[in-house]
Chain A
Amino acid sequence: MQAEITLTVDGTEHRTTVDTRTTVLDLLRERLGNTSPKKGCDHGQCGSCTVLLDGRRHLTCLALAVAHDGAEVVTSAGLAAASDDELHPVQRAFLDHDGLQCGYCTPGQVCSAVGMLDEAEQGHPSHVTDDLEAVPELDDDEIRERMSGNLCRCGAYAGILAAVREAARS
């Protein structure tokens, strides 16, 4: 079964017909040619497919495209393109702290970090937040917890932590 939807990806609007079985991830990667979000598990278990969907970090492998008609998607490629510099500050911090090795989880990590910093700024608590009333302070435990939906098999967590810590301060 086919359905027509509109999706804005990294600032460009796409009017497209999709198979109703198609996920946002496969729509991006196989139809729209945007392979910035990666497919690591296709089951919402690894975080590699994370993008900002209507401003919030979202797993696109668990999102059916037909259910997101009219949505706005920003991938890590879009974050860079929208920056004054060549790279988004979070991307720059990942680079400076070598928070990556093979790079496959990295665009998802970057989108997750950008989304997470916004959540924290809005006062969202995490599992390790003690005071649910206060605006959480992003100490190392908070960053680790909030970034734990994104697996990195190369084990770049130490660099990712340093990168997000720096991005949180600036």
Chain B
Amino acid sequence: MTELLPDPVPARAMGSARLRADGPAKVTGLATYAVEHPADDPLHLWLVQSTVARGRLVDLDTAAALAHPGVVSVLDHTNAPRLVTDDPDTTDPELVVLQDDRVAFRGQIVAAVLAETSEAAREGAALVTARYETEPHRAELRDDSPAYAPESVNPDQPTDSDDGDVEAGLAEADVVVDQTYRTAYEHNNPLEPHALSVTWLEDDDGPRVTLVDSTQGVHPVAATLAPMLGLEKDRVRVRAPYVGGGFGSKGLPHAPEMAAVLAARTVPGRAVKLAVTRQQMFALTGYRTATVSHFRLGARADGTLLAIDHQVREQTSALKEYAEQTATPTRMLYAAPHRRTRHRLVELDVAVPSWMRAPGEMPGVYAHEIAMDELAIACGLDPIELRLRNEPDVDPETGKPFSGRRLVECLERGADLFGWADRTPEPRATADGEWWVGTGVASATYPTMTQAGSQARVSALGGGRYSVAVGAVDIGTGARTVLAQIAADALGCAVEAVDLEIADTDLPMATVAGGSSGTSSWGSAIVAAAQLFRRDHGEDPDSGVHTTASAAQSPGMEQYATHAFGAVFAQTRVHRYTGEVRVPRLLGVYSVGRVLNPVTARSQLLGGLTMGLSAALFEESHRDPRFGHVVTQDLATYHVASHADVRGIEAVWLDEEDPHVNPMGSRGIGEIGIVGTAAAVANATFHATGVRVRQIPVTADRFVG
């Protein structure tokens, strides 16, 4: 296997609109998702969860469950197969399931029922009774909760940053904004609940495990599970042909996956199917921590920033640390001589938080962009003008030039499209019947990343056709469509001549569909393999010849600060008497390098905007600190935007390419749509009503009384 620094690829298919390759399979429902894969005589698994937040399981009565017709067995910590947990480098505490009697959070897996049918498994799980010795727990993120500084924040960034002297900058400032902004606990809630079908096989070479999983990365799942199972990675085969969304919650394997594998190990040769319920997802498949951002902005009277101070408090779990990188975008978004960021974590006895779309950027930029709106008001400036006055020449964090920073053009283009010039500067100035009407704006940014390690294989099939294989996953992003376009251009053939194979660990290594890095990481590997293939095998290759390669990192990734940028504009209507908020218009303008497929890219950006709108107005997981679990654990009480909530919504982008980041000229687009959106909506509600709401979701009660 060779590493190659790929040459830039001339765009022919890249950039052209192509309908989703797997669209026909999806609209008919013939696309099969994890648990839907046919298996002969499968067993069904149902999880039993702890009903206390902290303590010890002292007794588990399984007699009634085992007596229920169809129930095969009940797994618990006394009889479940043992995991390898003595190596801290390969042991994920979240995945150490059914190994001991400790309960670390309410909702933890304490048993699992295997049965011949899903009905029997479900009934059997209900018949299991557990007795606990409870211990005092903490489950509330309070302003006075003791907090600590983690060693780093997700994924591996400094916890703190200091440039200049923030206190001196604030003392020198003519105008200071000193406010606290809060975001709610949020759950990813992909429409397909986490699910898998798993079979444990014993053959002459030892155990072999096959999973059809709902995951954002088949290779990462195999690499994570294998060592804890005492297996080599190549003994764990993971496929994920169709995945019903993830939004970060399927980026890492979670406890249910391990529970299903352990159950399968007890019934070698027989498939075990586990479909996590929507309710169980609220404890077992990750979520976004609530965040509390204390912002202090100091500026001259003309709006020029002197000091930016962003101190974050957020929550992690006692079982496993996760440090949301909320203040990291603050380090690069605007220029100021004096800057400081802090992350502090409160450790609670709760479910394990994890990635949710744009971790860090979503809550962090939300806070920053409302603070900027407040600063604009305080300085008597238009919010766009304030942002123009604080544009940095180079990346404030690293001192490197940006590979491209066209935030100002995004703001100006958006202002044109949105009719910003007609806006009345004063808040609470426009009424339409019983509705106050206002508009708001926010900047958006997301780092442009290419992850190392992906490989691709190009094979000649004869007759001018090619197989292109990479173990990537399409979770709805359009990867299946876009990777074929990239491969076609890299090979210099038609898209129709490419047979793309993805979503299987039998295919070359691919990194996770996360961090908006999938297309860049996998696409770079495909380009490297295609170019090396042409070099080795020419334009008329013999059928069967093949090349596997990975891409060396583009030197530009070291030389430049690489980020996507955007500007979000929102119009809101707030009902004068009920406080109901509606968003009739939402516009995002983006600078994301070359857009490889305008059809799927537009959908991703609109999807991000929609999720941002949803976070702005609806999404909040209510945890009851007395019991330690989320009580709004379904889609009737955890509200996500429905069709009627999404009105005029539009995403456009600048015509460009970024030559520094990868051979396609593209930046990631999966997450930037959610960034800044909640701030734009919140700022618009202030403009409509004159009421400043500093927490999301922005609910009706904030505007009445």
Residues of A at the B interface (CB closer than 8 Å) are 19, 21-22, 26, 29-30, 33, 35-43, 45-46, 48, 75-77, 79-80, 86-87, 91, 94-96, 98, 100-107, 110, 141, 144-145, 147-148, 150-161
Contact = CB atoms under 8 A, between A and B. Distances in A.
Contacts of B275: 39
Contacts of B23: 94-95, 98, 100, 103
Given A40-B192, A155-B611, A100 B244 contact: no
Contacts of B610: 155, 157
Contacts of A145: 643-644
A43 B278 contact: yes
Given A19-B117, A42-B278, A98 B244 contact: no
Given A43-B278, A76-B29, A161 B643 contact: yes
B515 interface: no
B1 interface: no
Given A87-B24, A98-B599, A38 B244 contact: yes
A102 B478 CA distance: 8
Contacts of A153: 189-191, 245, 247, 611, 640
Interface in B221-253: 242-245, 247
A106 B32 CA distance: 13
Interface stretch (B89-97, B155-163, B600-608): B600-608
B643 A144 contact: yes
Given A41-B278, A98-B599, A102-B191, A152 B643 contact: yes
Contacts of B603: 98, 101, 154, 156, 159
Nearest to B646: A157
B314 to A, nearest CB: 24
Contacts of B247: 153
A34 to B, nearest CB: 8
Q: Which 10 A/B pairs are nearest by Cβ-Cβ distance?
A: A36-B29, A102-B476, A155-B610, A103-B26, A104-B244, A107-B29, A155-B607, A101-B476, A35-B36, A45-B635
A123 B118 CA distance: 40
B31 to A, nearest CB: 6
Interface string B187-204: 001111100000000000
A70 to B, nearest CB: 22
10 contacts: A42-B277, A76-B27, A91-B24, A96-B19, A101-B478, A101-B604, A104-B192, A155-B609, A157-B641, A157-B643
Contact of B607 (A22, A91, A95, A101): A101
Contact of A29 (B36, B243, B477, B607): B36
A148 B275 CA distance: 25
B635 A46 contact: yes
B485 to A, nearest CB: 15
B642 interface: yes
Nearest to B38: A33
Contacts of A77: 28-30
Given A30-B118, A87-B24, A153-B191, 20 more contacts: A21-B119, A35-B36, A40-B278, A41-B634, A80-B28, A86-B24, A95-B27, A98-B599, A98-B602, A106-B26, A106-B29, A145-B643, A145-B644, A147-B643, A150-B643, A154-B245, A155-B611, A157-B643, A159-B606, A160-B643
A148 B643 contact: yes
B19 A95 contact: yes
Contacts of B30: 36, 77, 80
Given A96-B19, A102-B243, A159-B603, A87 B191 contact: no
Contact of A110 (B19, B27, B31, B640): B27
B653 interface: no
A76 B25 CA distance: 10
B598 to A, nearest CB: 10
B486 interface: no
Nearest to B638: A45
A150 B193 CA distance: 16
A163 to B, nearest CB: 9
Interface in B87-137: 117-119, 123
Contact of B119 (A19, A29, A40, A91): A19
Interface in B133-190: 189-190
Given A36-B28, A107-B28, A100 B191 contact: no
Interface string B626-660: 00000000111000111110110100000000000
Contacts of B192: 38, 40, 102, 104
Nearest to A153: B191
Contacts of A26: 118-119
B191 A38 contact: yes
B502 to A, nearest CB: 15
Contacts of B643: 144-145, 147-148, 150, 152, 157, 160-161
A54 to B, nearest CB: 19
B518 to A, nearest CB: 14
B366 interface: no
A37 B242 CA distance: 15
Nearest to B27: A91
B416 to A, nearest CB: 21
Interface centre among B19, B33, B646 (most CB of A within 10 A): B646
Nearest to A105: B191
Given A100-B26, A102-B191, A110-B27, A43 B36 contact: no
Contacts of B614: 155
Contacts of B242: 102-103
B385 interface: no
A163 B296 CA distance: 46
Contacts of A105: 191, 244
Nearest to B69: A19
A104 B33 contact: yes
Contact of A40 (B193, B476, B607, B647): B193
B558 interface: no
Nearest to B273: A30
B20 interface: yes
